[in-house]
Structure 1
Amino acid sequence: MNKFLKLILLSIAFLQLTHAQTVVNVVDWGILPGKDATLELNELIASLKGQENVIVNFPKGTYQFYPENAFEQYRAVTNHDNSLKRMAFPMFGLNGVTIEGNDSEFIFHGRLCPFIVEGGQNITLKNFSINWEIPFQAELKVIETNKAENSFTAKVTTNHKYKVKGEKIYFQHYNWEDPIGQNTPFDPETKSPIWDSRPYSFNISKAIATDVGNGQIKFKNAMKKLPPVGTVVVNHGPQGTNRLVQAIHLSNTKDTYIENVTIYAAGGMGLIAERCENIHLNAYKITSSEGRMSATRADATHFLGCKGLIKLENCLLEHMLDDGINVHGAYVKVAEYLGDNQFLCEISHWQQWGLIFAEPGDEVTLISRETVLPILKTSVKEIKILNEQKFLLTVNEVPEYMPKGLLSFENITWNPDLEMKNNIIRENRARSVLVTTKGKVTIENNYFSSQMHGILIEGDNNKWYESGGVTDITIKNNVFENIGYGDDTRYPLYISPLLRPEQRLGEDKYHYNINFINNKIKSFNGHLVYAKSVKGLVLKGNEIILDDTYPTGAQKTPLVFDYCENVSLEKNKFSGFSWPITIEKVDSDTNFKLKKNEGVSR
């Protein structure tokens, strides 16, 4: 064997050796089912720093995690409430680590955050479930109503102890108690929020609670309308403390893969990711566990300021108390222009305080907050963090004349592509999909059935400050079933910037290039699309069929186009509707094509 060939073989052997995976069995660290494993797990995770290609192996079992001996750190978690947080899996700066659960159950107690993955690369989480012994939401099943005294009696169906003090109910958690706060009524027959849920929300200030024993409480003057017997009222708890404990938090990671992970509960979102590159979810599930109506307190998945590819496939997202998926950036306010290309900026929404808006080299756009449209694209020269709310931003170019009026910045480097295929999002409060990214978006072969809009393409610079305008979205071959049940303002596809009265549409359009093709919509009201400030909208080959699961009838206009351009409405078919399917156009006649649509009134 010549020396050159021998050198090649030695190099291959070295590469194989360096890439060989090390298996760490948690049993060797004293991590066993049936005991608090938090301290040992924290120490195991800390030992992985500097290692690569490690599998942390949990033999199948039920593992318990408590907060008393957990590592803690003050954490700013976007779209949550910042706080001192304790963690079970504090995975900081790790590379090539896999958590293999072998279908184990991970049971958490109290305000303990399961997974924090920060600054890592090539992290894999697979084959386990996340749950809490006492869930964050207490649930009340209505067993009796009394119209004469405007009261109903309900039974606590979750494993919460409770007390009635001063005619108010308080649910006991691990080491705190929650009064009635934000709440959602569910229908146990559909496992979804109840039809027209608005009259069945607690009036917290007027409700009078009386403990009648046996886990039952009588409520008087609690709602505008007495809830039907069987209704399950889910108590989210008070705002400010009900988004403290997300299940999985990804921050500044690259190439994260999550497979066959089921989340039954969380005191916040199932998964929240910020400033991450490439995230792949496969067979990831959010669902309620047996005996409970609700799953996570907030979104199933949420992505802010990411890039690369976000991919969801074969996922089931149901029973969460907010959206299925939300992908967006953030508008940050310009508080003051200081000269010399430097701006004093303010993170706009209090639940985004602490986010990393940009780093040197990122491209950003200066935005008018009046029209929510771009003024100038530039790049970041320097950024100096002052505190979790404010920072100094120095850019390489500014306008020759600084515009008058309120301004913002948007980061346009961190805009991911999104691919969603073969997923189910259903039976949740709020929307199925929210997406405002300038990347390429494909949403294909999914099933959607949510209480509010099916797919919301919004962007706003005044409320949540979620940027921005989209440029390339294809939505095809999906099923939308009874979207927006009980509310006449909901649509399978809703596209519009969210504008307050002091804001206005600018000369340019906000959203571009949206294709909604060959989708099947089962609908009680005939709604298809609401579009505002869009250039390039194709609705083709969609089938809209009357469905009588819920009360049927005409509500708002099924097809609304406001300040749109280059719209094509072709070969769509409405069937079974006894009322006219009409089109409303407001300043939208520019290149508006209407061709071969069945059941549409011109």
Structure 2
Amino acid sequence: MKNFITFMFVLFLGFTSSAQNETINVADFGIKPGKDVTLELYQLIDSLEGKKNITLFFPKGQYEFYPENAFEVYRAVTNHDNSLKKIAFPIFNFDGFTLDGNGSTFMFHGKIVPITVEGSRNTTLKNFTIDWEKSFVNELTVTENNKEEKSFTVDVANEKFGFEVKNNQILFNHYDWQDEIGQNMAFDPATRSPIWQTKNYYLKPQSHKTAKIVKIDYKTAKFIDYTKSLPPVGTVFATYGNSPGANRFAPGIHLSNSKDNVLNNITVLAAGGMALIAERCENISLDTFIVTSRDDRTISTRADATHFLGCKGTIKLENCLLEHMLDDGINVHGAYVKVEKYLGNSTFLCETSHVQQWGFIFGEKGDELMLMSRETILPIFKTKIKEVKVLNERRMLITVAEVPAKMPEGKLSLENLTWYPDVYMNKNIIRENRARGALITTKGKVIIENNYFSSQMHGILIEGDNNKWYESGGVEDVVIRNNTFNTIGYGNGESYPLLAAPLFTEDQRIGDDKFHRNIDFSNNIIKSFNGHLVDAFSVKGLKVTGNIIELTNDYPTGSTLPAIHLDFCEDVIIEKNQFKNFNFPIKIEVKENVNSIKIKRNKGVK
């Protein structure tokens, strides 16, 4: 009888919970495909303030969003340019909010952020595509070249807006602004990836006297003496303005200060920044999150496909396709703040140093901190935050529970130990992009398995630095297994499937201890033109076992670099790795400062 009563009570709770869920068909509020629905959507979302367990349901179609009637608020968006942001879906302070696009396309025009989730819990975004009428990336396709004239002619993908040439400078017209060339990269149309030795084709005048741009007609221009090497016919140049300040202002989805976020079956075809940027969030799950380019474009997003700063809980990516973006597939890290001055009374005057991190929440009362040396980037003293007083976007006062009996000399910084996530990546494809496949710098548990990587630079970069980007997080437990790495480093052939090394600048030095710990790189398949496997520096506990490295001829073969390079490492196992069909020497290079190393039963190594 008791079990029956318990069962009925649970059943009643289920019915009650279901009754509390409310599905709203947006068509009932005048939100219909084929017209600008920005204002109507804002009014609807605004009317739902304070309600829980709401689902916004969109009948399938293409919905248009313009900036003129969009909700606007100043937003500090990490790794982007802070500014007033116009937002189409301002999902602020909700509990149990679901956005179900039902297969719809949300088409954006101009400088507008599609979705911002702020201060919310239990948010689900699913079943829609994000696109822009005109991409934030300007694409130029080479149609002919002339060696004698050192010139090449391009078709400009004008997408309605066209371009101008003024004062020997090309200006790309957008919704209500113009872009200069700025940052740019050449892509190979056959591989849809950055072209081999892409730096040779960087659009930059080689001579102020002879470099010239000529507009031929509404879609054609000629570049004279503008690149180190003449680009092959078919080359696609992606240009995207200058950074910071001009090309990272409109991410596709921004998650901030929110808990339990789920993103399912979402496609992002363009963004004026990252497809997804998340900061100060707990628990984020992505399943079938797709970043790719539209059929009539080569490039998808201006920056990373996914990026996570100062998060905790678990970040999970499964069944995702991330391709054709102009930066990394995924980046997970914390952030150091510089100690400008110790003021006494356990209080530090601190500065957020990188311009695209200004305004982010570094820490709050109760967060565990580590006092760090900026010279060696090693930890010194652990404590907790008692109080944070924000002075402005850049500076803050941080009062801690305890400080060392004697304050260390030299440059210092603080690291937040509380806000680091676990990461799980399974069955994802990251390929055909500029930069790296994955940057993982977190103290949480990391498992990367059954994925496919093919990137212009390193496949997986485990870095961290305390003097440039200030991206923190010496790793403590990383497993990378059963993945496929294909033609990693096709930018110039110098990159590795795995690079684990903190970034040092000229004014920094190696300390007494290692920065990274416990990295297991095992049972992966590497299809390689250069024979590279692992490059590791300042790692304690490195295992490289059971990997199969096969020669491929997709790019020029050979390398002057070792297959495995170890510097200032400890407790290393290099075992049962097989190098197959290589017709050039495969070397393992171990510096004298490497301790406790076992190298055995590796095949194909000289």
Equivalent of 1:212 in 200, 210, 216:
216
> Is contact 1:157–1:291 with CA below 8 Å preserved after alignment?
no
Q: Partner of 1:224 in structure 2?
A: 228
2:509 aligned with 1:504:
yes
1:389 aligns with 2:379: no
Alignment partner, residue 372 of structure 1:
377
1:187 equivalenced with 2:192 (yes/no): no
Q: Contact 1:19 / 1:53 at 8 angstroms: preserved in 2?
A: no
Moved more, 438-447 or 199-208: 199-208
Quote the RMSD (CA, aligned, Å): 1.5
C-alpha deviation, 1:348, in angstroms: 1.4
2:44 is the alignment partner of 1:44: yes
Match of 1:483 in 2: 488
**Partners of 1:143 and 1:327 in 2: how far apart?**
40
- 1:317: how far off? 0.1
Cα distance, 1:308–1:7 mapped onto 2, change above 3 Å: closer
Q: Which letter maps to 1:13?
A: F
Structure 1 residues 29-40: aligned runs within 5 Å: 29-40=29-40
Give the Cα separation in 1 of the matches to 2:386 and 2:176.
47
Letter of the 2:525 partner, please give it. Answer: K
Q: What amino acid is the match of 1:47?
A: S
Deviation at 1:194, TM superposition (A): 0.3
Partners of 1:48 and 1:547 lie apart in 2 by 57
Q: Deviations over 1:179-224 (max 9, x none)?
A: 1110010000000000110010111584421011151100111111
- 1:445-464 to 2 correspondence within 5 Å? 445-464=450-469
Answer yes or no: is the 8 Å Cα contact 1:195–1:485 preserved in 2. Answer: yes
Report Cα offsets for 1:327-348 as digits up to 9, x if no partner. Answer: 0000000000000100000001
Match of 1:280 among 280, 285, 291: 285
Distance in 2 separating the partners of 1:486 and 1:525: 12
C-alpha separation in 1, matches of 2:189 and 2:6? 68
Quick one: which of 311, 314, 320 aligns to 1:309?
Answer: 314
Q: CA deviation at 1:586?
A: 1.3
Tell me, yes or no, if the aligned pair for 1:180 and 1:204 is still in contact at 8 Å. Answer: no
Question: Take 1:15 and 1:576, find their aligned partners in 2: how far apart are those partners?
Answer: 61
SS at the partner of 1:427? strand
For residues 205 and 95 of structure 2, what CA distance do their matches in structure 1 show?
A: 48
Deviation at 1:589?
3.9
2:135–2:270 Cα contact (<8 Å) kept: yes
One of 524, 543, 546 as aligned partner of 1:538? 543
Say yes or no: does 1:356 pair with 2:372. no
Aligned match of 1:164: 165
Amino acid at match of 1:408: S
SS in 2 for 1:27: helix
Distance (whole Å) between structure 2 residues aligned to residue 464 and residue 234 of structure 1: 24
Aligned in 2, Cα 1:555/1:123: closer, same or farther, shift over 3 Å?
A: same
Counterpart secondary structure, 2:95: coil
Structure-2 change in CA distance of 1:69 and 1:589 (3 Å): closer
Q: Which residue of 2 aligns with 1:26?
A: 26
- Alpha carbons 2:162, 2:218 under 8 Å: kept: no
Counterparts of 2:5 and 2:422, CA distance in 1: 44
Q: Post-superposition shift, 1:14?
A: 5.5
1:566–1:33 distance in 2 versus 1, CA, 3 Å: same
Contact 1:415 1:438 in 2 (8 A): yes
Within 1, Cα distance between the matches of 2:220 and 2:453? 35
- The answer for the alignment partner of 1:175 in structure 2 is 176
Instruction: Write the letter of the residue equivalent to 1:216.
Output: T
How far is 1:556 from its partner? 1.3
Counterpart CA distance in 2 for 1:179 and 1:154 is 16
Change (3 A) 1:522 1:14: closer
Displacement of 1:553 in angstroms is 1.3
Which amino acid in structure 1 is aligned with residue 12 of structure 2? A
- Amino acid across the alignment from 1:141: T
1:14-57 Cα deviation digits (max 9, x unpaired): 66224432110000111010110000111111222221221100
Q: Establish whether residue 343 from structure 1 lines up as the match of residue 348 from structure 2.
A: yes
Q: Percent identity between the aligned chains?
A: 58
Q: Which amino acid aligns with 1:168?
A: Q
Q: TM-score, normalised by structure 2?
A: 0.97
Which position in structure 2 is the counterpart of 1:87?
A: 87
Deviations 1:113-148 (A, max 9, x none): 000000101100000000000110110000111111
Matches within 5 A, 1:237-316: 237-239=241-243, 240-316=245-321
Q: Distance in 1 between matches of 2:399 and 2:492?
A: 46
For residue 86 of structure 1, report the CA deviation from its aligned partner: 0.2
Structure-1 separation of matches of 2:231 and 2:506 = 35
* C-alpha distance in 1 between matches for 2:424 and 2:113: 28
- Give distance in 1, aligned partners of 2:179 and 2:151: 22
Q: Is the CA contact (8 Å cut-off) linking 1:569 and 1:593 kept in structure 2?
A: yes
Rounded to whole Å, the distance in 2 between the matches of 1:325 and 1:74 is 26
Q: What's the CA shift string for 1:410-459, capped at 9, x where partnerless?
A: 00000000000000000000000000000000000000000000000000
Q: Secondary structure at the match of 1:462?
A: coil
1:281-330 per-residue CA deviation (whole Å, 9 max, x = no partner) reads 00000000011000000000000000000000000000000000000000
Can you list the C-alpha shifts for 1:365-397, whole angstroms capped at 9, x where unaligned?
A: 000000000000100000000000000000011
Does the 8 Å CA contact 2:193/2:432 hold for their aligned counterparts?
yes
Q: Does 1:332 align with 2:331?
A: no
Question: Aligned with 2:34: secondary structure?
Answer: coil
Do the aligned partners of 1:488 and 1:556 also contact (CA within 8 Å) in 2?
no
In the alignment of these two chains, the number of paired residues is 600
Aligned to 1:380, what secondary structure does the other structure show? strand
| 1:600 partner SS | coil
Matched-pair contact (CA < 8 Å) for 2:141–2:237: yes
**1:157 offset after TM fit, Å?**
2.6
Alignment partners' CA distance in 2, 1:89 and 1:211: 39
Question: 1:235: which partner in 2?
Answer: 239
Q: Sort the Cα spacing of 1:204 and 1:95 in 2 relative to 1 into closer, same or farther, 3 A.
A: farther
8 Å CA contact retained: 2:163, 2:218 = no
Unmatched segments (≥5 aa) in structure 2: none
SS in 2 for 1:415: coil
Asked whether the equivalents of residues 329 and 414 of structure 1 are also in contact (C-alpha less than 8 Å), the reply is: yes
- Which residue is 2:12 aligned to? 13
Q: Distance in 2 between matches of 1:350 and 1:589?
A: 37
Deviates more, 1:221-230 or 1:483-492: 483-492
Q: Call closer, same or farther: CA 1:11–1:534 in 2, change over 3 Å.
A: closer
Letter of the 2:196 counterpart: W
Give the secondary structure class of the aligned counterpart of 1:77: coil
Give a deviation string over 1:129-172, Cα, whole Å, max 9, x none. Answer: 00000110110000111111111110013514101111111110
Match of 1:105 in 2: 105
Distance 2:357 2:291 in 1: 24
- Residue by residue over 1:491-542, the C-alpha shift from the partner in whole angstroms, topping out at 9 and shown as x without a partner, is 0000100000110111010000000010000000000011000000000000
Give the SS at the match of 2:187. Answer: strand
Amino acid at match of 1:22: E
SS in 1 for 2:317: strand
- 1:379/1:395 contact within 8 Å kept: yes
> Is the 8 Å Cα contact of residues 248 and 270 (structure 1) preserved in structure 2?
yes
Task: Name the CA distance, whole Å, in 2 between partners of 1:306 and 1:48.
Answer: 28
- Contact 1:181–1:235 at 8 Å: present in 2 too? yes
Which residue does the alignment assign to 2:122?
122
Q: Any conservation in 1 of the 2:54–2:98 contact (CA below 8 Å)?
A: yes
How far apart are the structure 1 equivalents of 2:197 and 2:123?
Answer: 42
Amino acid aligned to 1:193: P
